Amino acid sequence: MSQLVVVTGGAGFVGSHLCDRLIAAGQRVIALDDFSTGHPSHVAHLEMQPRFELREHDVAGAWPLGLNGVSRIFNLACPASPAYYQHHPVQTTLTSAVGMWQVLEAAHESGARVLQASTSEVYGDPQVHPQAESYHGHVNPIGPRACYDEGKRVAETLCFGYHLERGVEVRVARLFNSYGPRLRSGDGRVVSNFIVQALRGEPLTIYGNGEQTRSFCYVDDTVDGLLRMMESDIEGPINIGNPIEHTVLDLAERVLRLTGSRSRLERRPLPPDDPKRRCPDISRAKRHLQWEPKVSLDDGLRETISYFRRELGMSSRMAA
């Protein structure tokens, strides 16, 4: 049966892919976005769909009118680009905290279920490895990443506060390093940075010694996890990420190989509070959602490289 679903941040990277999947499943979708980091072009192909609507809206503002009958709200409205949120710490914090409050108030009034797209950044620079949901994190509350890390942490607190005190149905998913088409160049995320630098023949920027690790989850797998989480019977939090760990150096070498680029590596100092190791324990996701990622890193990088070739107007022979 068709439901009315709201996706905040619906013109963003993960949000736009989520809208695709919801429309394909026969749902009615209203995407809300203030276009600070998302872009209407990400969902332009859905404009002719009668079951899809895009509205410009700041999630921290009053809930828009005309959303009666909403049964599901996916809250993905928050800048995830380090390059953006470190230059807009106030907006980022308010988007996470006040935006979450606005969403939960709307859900309390309408009876909708809310899924909060949280982040592995709630674990900070972790002292436990891999990171399980029971780990409470190691976060600097006044560092350059705090606006994002702490904003997401308080959003989780609000979710469970509304659930316990006011009976709002909530689901909390912690996303780990999602990547794929519709990432933005220059957004400070390592996958898009490396691919764009490689395709342009620029040096690949390695911060620190390059031995710090990340886990990379292709966006199709991420969206599948979010959809399963929304319809599950567990509030969470649940990690959604790839448990295969890669060093930043390994990622750089893969990007160079897959693009055919002759770019060199350029080392710079490691930024403050940058996590040294990041890898999810996905035992809960396997048990409660029957979910685990399926797309290999090389296959996902190929799709992402093809996207950036098109965005940059390059042919396959222009990478070198």
Q: In which residue ranges of the chain is pLDDT below 50?
A: 315-320
Structural domains of the chain sorted by starting position, each given as residue range(s) with its CATH number in brackets: 4-179+217-240 (3.40.50.720)
What is the model's pLDDT at position 314?
A: 60
Q: How many residues does the chain have?
A: 320
Catalytic residues: 148
State the helix-helix crossing angle for 248-259 and 190-200, rounded to 10 degrees. 40
What is the model's pLDDT at position 317?
A: 44
* Coil, strand or helix at 30: strand
Please count the helices (runs of H) and the strands (runs of E) in the chain: 9, 13
How far is C-alpha 22 from the chain's CA centre? 17
Rg value, the chain, Cα: 19
- In angstroms, the CA 292 to CA 269 distance is 34
Query: Any residues with CB less than 8 A from the CB of 128 and at least 6 apart, and which?
Result: 135
End-to-end CA distance of the chain: give it in Å, rounded: 50
Is residue 197 within 8 A of residue 205, CB to CB? The reply is yes
Query: Any residues with CB less than 8 A from the CB of 282 and at least 6 apart, and which?
Result: 239, 240, 241, 243, 291, 292
Query: Any residues with CB less than 8 A from the CB of 117 and at least 6 apart, and which?
Result: 9, 14, 74, 75, 76, 78, 173, 175, 226
Is residue 104 within 8 A of residue 97, CB to CB? The reply is no
Closest CA to 293 of 284, 285, 302: 285
Q: Global pTM?
A: 0.93
Query: Any residues with CB less than 8 A from the CB of 116 and at least 6 apart, and which?
Result: 75, 100, 155, 156, 159, 170, 171, 172, 173
Is residue 157 within 8 A of residue 101, CB to CB? The reply is no
How far is C-alpha 46 from the chain's CA centre? 21
Query: Any residues with CB less than 8 A from the CB of 183 and at least 6 apart, and which?
Result: 13, 189, 191, 192, 304, 307
The conformation of residue 44, written as its DSSP 8-state character, comes to: G
- In angstroms, the CA 149 to CA 240 distance is 17
